[in-house]
């Protein structure tokens, strides 16, 4: 099956659903996912795509929708989670470093769990350091490297790559040249990957 790029930003609310269920989905379907952090806030500002700010009705719906779908996946988040995240960039810089060093997926899941299930915003303490400790990483080292020019540039490059593919929101799934946006398009992306494109 064609590999699927899972483009996500820590900071996206709906991505919680995908981050938490993706390992189970991968095991069940045999789909292979590459976890690709990017800065969705940069993309949305660039494209004047502001789905929730100053939109209380749509925002209230978003939380209700996430709560209902989480229940369907056997998840039990505290809704609403703290939002938006002040530490979005740092959270994703850490994810980029983790991707390079092999612990990006574990960190992403742990930081989302604390964000949605313990009301601790991702990208700042206590969530950030405790998530890193929980997966066996040294917070002082990781946070210093994550703030380096190199990692900042790597996240910016990934964001540019996502935009060039047509990604405009998180989560998105890229299969060859096809983009599928939203946790609710995960099954469509897997079906597309199964076509062997």
Q: Under the rule (CB under 8 A), what is the footprint of its own copies?
A: 47-49, 51, 54-55, 57-58, 60-61, 64-65, 68-69, 72, 163, 166, 168-169, 178-181, 184-185, 188
Q: Which residues of 134-170 are buried (b: 16+ CB within 10 A; e: fewer)?
A: ebebebeebbeebeeeebeebbbebbeebbebebbbb
Structure tokens belonging to residue 33: 């996912």
Taking the least distance from each CB to its own copies, the nearer of 49 and 148 is: 49
In this structure, the number of other CB atoms found within 10 A of the CB of residue 71 comes to 11
Shortest Cβ 8–its own copies spacing (Å): 17
In this structure, the number of other CB atoms found within 10 A of the CB of residue 84 comes to 12
Spatial CB neighbours of 81, under 8 Å, sequence gap ≥ 6:
13, 16, 115, 116, 119
Taking the least distance from each CB to its own copies, the nearer of 79 and 135 is: 79
Taking the least distance from each CB to its own copies, the nearer of 51 and 84 is: 51
Shortest Cβ 47–its own copies spacing (Å): 6
Query: What whole-number distance in Å separates Cα of residue 1 and Cα of residue 21?
Result: 19
Shortest Cβ 85–its own copies spacing (Å): 22
Taking the least distance from each CB to its own copies, the nearer of 48 and 102 is: 48
Shortest Cβ 63–its own copies spacing (Å): 12
Contact of 32 with 26, CB cutoff 8 Å: yes
Shortest Cβ 184–its own copies spacing (Å): 5
Edge-to-edge, what's the strand order for the sheet holding 172-175? Answer: 33-37, 4-8, 172-175, 178-181
Taking the least distance from each CB to its own copies, the nearer of 130 and 188 is: 188
Shortest Cβ 49–its own copies spacing (Å): 6
In this structure, the number of other CB atoms found within 10 A of the CB of residue 52 comes to 15
Taking the least distance from each CB to its own copies, the nearer of 122 and 186 is: 186
């Amino acid at each position: 099956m064609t590999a699927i790029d899972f483009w996500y930003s820590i900071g996206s609310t709906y991505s919680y659903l995908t981050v938490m269920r993706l390992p189970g989905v991968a095991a069940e379907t045999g789909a292979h996912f590459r976890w690709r952090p990017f800065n969705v806030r940069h993309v949305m500002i660039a494209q004047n795509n502001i789905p929730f700010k100053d939109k209380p009705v749509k925002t209230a719906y978003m939380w209700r929708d996430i709560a209902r779908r989480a229940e369907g996946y056997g998840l039990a988040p505290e809704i609403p989670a703290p939002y938006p995240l002040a530490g979005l960039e740092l959270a994703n810089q850490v994810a980029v470093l983790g991707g390079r060093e092999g612990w990006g997926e574990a960190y992403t899941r742990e930081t989302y769990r604390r964000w949605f299930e313990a009301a601790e915003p991702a990208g700042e303490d206590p969530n950030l350091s405790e998530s890193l400790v929980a997966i066996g990483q040294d917070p002082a080292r990781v946070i210093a490297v994550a703030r380096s020019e190199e990692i900042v540039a790597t996240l910016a490059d990934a964001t540019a790559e996502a935009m060039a593919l047509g990604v405009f929101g998180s989560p998105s799934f890229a299969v060859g040249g096809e983009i599928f946006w939203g946790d609710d398009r995960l099954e469509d992306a897997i079906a597309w990957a199964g076509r062997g494109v």
